[in-house]
Amino acid sequence: MRVRLLRYTADPELLCGAAALTSSRSGNPSEILDGIDLEKARQTIRRVTGYGHMSVIEHASFTFSIEEVSRALTHQLVRHRIASYTQQSQRYVTYDTLKKYVTPPTIAQNTEAKKIFDETLESISATYNRLLEMGIPKEDARYILPNAAKTNIVVTMNARELRHFFNLRCCTRSQWELREVATEMLRQVKKVAPSLFENAGPTCVELGFCPEGKMKPQECNIEEIKRRFKSL
Ligand SMILES: Cc1cc2nc3c(=O)[nH]c(=O)nc-3n(C[C@H](O)[C@H](O)[C@H](O)COP(=O)(O)OP(=O)(O)OC[C@H]3O[C@@H](n4cnc5c(N)ncnc54)[C@H](O)[C@@H]3O)c2cc1C
């Protein structure tokens, strides 16, 4: 799995800070942006988002390349609708099943499970290649490919949607592969726009309590999780 922040809105904190001040100042937004410094922008973002007025951080967008992840992951990722996606196509790219699949740690650590997992993938690979040799188009041969198949996807989200995504997908309840990707995305955006992602992370980090009720995983220690995400 690899995550790389490819591009993001220039001066995201200055822009969102200036947008926030537009509501309460008489000057026009371009003058406000020209006059604002980073400290004032951050202070404004903290104040306004502290009221729950989150729309001001929608002005900053972040584009990631998420590489060599499973199709199981991307299927969950694309459920987040306030985002843009472009994914590697199994219609156009010939798939090398034996080289390109994700093995979950629970399977990798279990010799017997790993053996049957690998054997099945070898069989899938043989069938896929045989279908192509028979002249079956890639778009139809791919029906045999598994959720473990690796893929690449580009995703763009604005800061508000990213925070919502982190609430759900950095949570211990989230599936492990997507949780790792979401946590790495958060680590990278915090570096470039700290005030937009202050207290970002699973819902418990933001709200101070777990909303999962009886679904809350037993291993969760909210104080420890808060410490971990604050120091990310
Ligand atoms: C732990 C976990 C388990 C899950 N299990 C399942 C499962 O078993 N089955 C399953 O199908 N899914 C499951 N999901 C996916 C989940 O139901 C959501 O589809 C996914 O997390 C996207 O969240 P969202 O809809 O809040 O966010 P986004 O699509 O990212 O949207 C962000 C917010 O925008 C607003 N919004 C977006 N679109 C609309 C709309 N059309 N109408 C009104 N408001 C809108 C909502 O406020 C929404 O919260 C699971 C997710 C998690 C985190």
Domain shared by 119 and 175, yes or no:
no
Cβ < 6 A, ligand 1 pocket? 79-82, 161, 164, 168, 173-174
HSE-CB of 74 using CA atoms within 13 angstroms: 25
Domain shared by 77 and 158, yes or no:
yes
What is the model's pLDDT at position 20?
Answer: 96
What is the model's pLDDT at position 208?
Answer: 86
Domain shared by 29 and 107, yes or no:
no
For residue 174, give both structure tokens: 């989230």
Average pLDDT over residues 132-149: 96
176-181-186 Cα angle (round to 5): 120
Nearest to 72 by CA among 175, 204, 184: 175
What confidence tens digit (pLDDT) does each residue in 182-203 have? 999 999 999 999 999 999 999 9
What is the model's pLDDT at position 27?
Answer: 85
Q: Angle 176-192/159-169 helices, nearest 10 degrees? A: 140
Domain shared by 34 and 137, yes or no:
no
The mean pLDDT value of the chain amounts to 95
201: left (phi over 0), alpha (psi -120 to 50) or beta: left
Question: If you take atom 47 of ligand 1, which residue's CA is the nearest one?
Answer: 164
Domain shared by 166 and 122, yes or no:
no
Please identify which residue in the block is written with the tokens 């410490």: 227
Average pLDDT over residues 126-140: 96
CA distances from 68 to 13, 63, 149 (A): 31, 17, 9
Question: If you take atom 44 of ligand 1, which residue's CA is the nearest one?
Answer: 81
Probe residue for ligand 1, chosen from 78, 81, 166 as the CB with the greatest number of ligand atoms within 8 Å: 81
**Residue ranges making up the domain that contains 98:** 94-148
Ligand 1 centroid, distance to 167 Cα (angstroms): 11
What is the model's pLDDT at position 207?
Answer: 87
Domain shared by 195 and 102, yes or no:
no
Domain shared by 122 and 34, yes or no:
no
Number of domains in the chain: 2
Average pLDDT over residues 114-131: 96
pTM of the full predicted structure?
Answer: 0.96
Calpha distance 210→131 (Å, rounded): 49
Domain shared by 12 and 76, yes or no:
yes
Atom of ligand 1 nearest to the CA of 173: 1
User: With 80 as the cut, is the pLDDT of residue 148 above it?
Assistant: yes
For residue 159, give both structure tokens: 């800061």
Last residue of a domain, one of 105, 133, 148: 148
User: In this structure, are residues 150 and 101 in contact, taking their beta carbons and an 8 Å threshold?
Assistant: yes
Probe residue for ligand 1, chosen from 73, 74, 79, 178 as the CB with the greatest number of ligand atoms within 8 Å: 79
61: left (phi over 0), alpha (psi -120 to 50) or beta: beta
Active site residue 160: no
Please identify which residue in the block is written with the tokens 């949780």: 179
Domain shared by 9 and 80, yes or no:
yes
Domain shared by 65 and 100, yes or no:
no
User: With 90 as the cut, is the pLDDT of residue 146 above it?
Assistant: yes
Last residue of a domain, one of 110, 126, 148: 148
Calpha distance 60→221 (Å, rounded): 32
CATH of the domain at 19: 3.30.1360.170
Average pLDDT over residues 46-67: 96
Last residue of a domain, one of 131, 148, 165: 148
Which residue is catalytic, options 42, 160, 163, 169? 169
Q: Is the pLDDT higher at 212 or at 104?
A: 104
Domain shared by 138 and 34, yes or no:
no
Domain shared by 32 and 115, yes or no:
no
What is the model's pLDDT at position 98?
Answer: 76
